[in-house]
Amino acid sequence: MTPPLASSAFDSLRLDAVRDQEALRRAYGLPGAAAVRKQMTELTEQTQRLIGCSSLVLVASADAEGNCDVSPRGGPAGFVAVLDARTLAIPDATGNKRLDTLQNVIATGRAGLLFVIPGRTTTLRVNGRACVSTRPELLSQLTAVGKPPASALVLGIEEVYPHCPKALLRSAVWKPEQWLSADAQPTSAEVTLAQLRMPELTIADIEQTEADSLKYWYE
């Protein structure tokens, strides 16, 4: 029998959490007219150009039970292909092969994207229908990550929304002088070792595995 999970702060906080949209709206008021009006259902020339400048996109998805996931996709600027004003294709570079995002998309046919542009405080949100394609003539166009991918995430756009820069300004994400020093942060290997919970492994083992997996990008 699986032991019950220990209670957490969440269990306490959810007891008096906001229960409905009306209560939430009372806490915030109504959005400004511009915040509503700038939502569109297709890409403009300018938002297509933003996507062409983006080297990082965060992909949000959920499975049929509502379990959520956000995963990054990266490549050279323009690695996400604009097929037309209402269709995008993201090459799926080989990673850990968990396929969380792609399996979610197959289950629900939905995905959300957040495009990040290095040095810019503007982000672009694009949401809509989604599917996973292995059509050869599509994959042959998506070689920005080095070779045709095994599949592509294709998004049929329903919502395009350019976000204001406040979050990236508050985070100082592009200001190295405000970043925490490396020795104030756990390393990637330290985090991975704790997650794996395998006493026979050492930090050196994880560091070597990471170095081997990333060798392609530094050659």
pLDDT at residue 114, as a whole number: 98
In a domain, 11, yes or no: no
Q: Same domain, yes or no, for 133 and 201?
A: no
Per-residue pLDDT at 216: 58
The total number of structural domains in the chain stands at 2
Q: Which residues form the domain of 97?
A: 38-170
What backbone phi and psi angles, to 5 degrees, belong to 149? -75, 165
Pair (66, 111) in one structural domain: yes
Looking at the fold, whether 153 and 194 belong to one and the same domain comes out as: no
Report the pLDDT value the prediction gives residue 217, as an integer from 0 to 100.
52
Q: What is the pLDDT of residues 1-46, one digit of tens each?
A: 455 667 899 999 999 999 999 999 999 999 999 999 999 999 999 9
Predicted confidence at residue 146, as pLDDT, reads 78
Burial 91-122 (b: 16+ CB within 10 A, else e): bbbeeeeeeebbebbeebebbbbbbbbeeebe
Asked if residue 198 belongs to a domain, the reply is yes
Amino acid at 123: T
Tell me whether residue 206 is in a domain. Answer: yes
Which CATH number covers residue 78?
Answer: 2.30.110.10
Distance of alpha carbon 89 from alpha carbon 78, whole angstroms: 11
Alpha helices in the chain (DSSP H): 9-13, 21-28, 33-37, 45-53, 100-108, 136-139, 166-171, 188-196, 203-218
- Is 82 inside any structural domain? yes
User: How confident is the model at residue 218, as a pLDDT?
Assistant: 46
List per-block mean pLDDT (blocks of 10 residues) for the chain, which spans 219 residues.
72 94 95 94 97 97 97 95 98 87 98 96 96 97 87 98 93 94 94 94 92 68
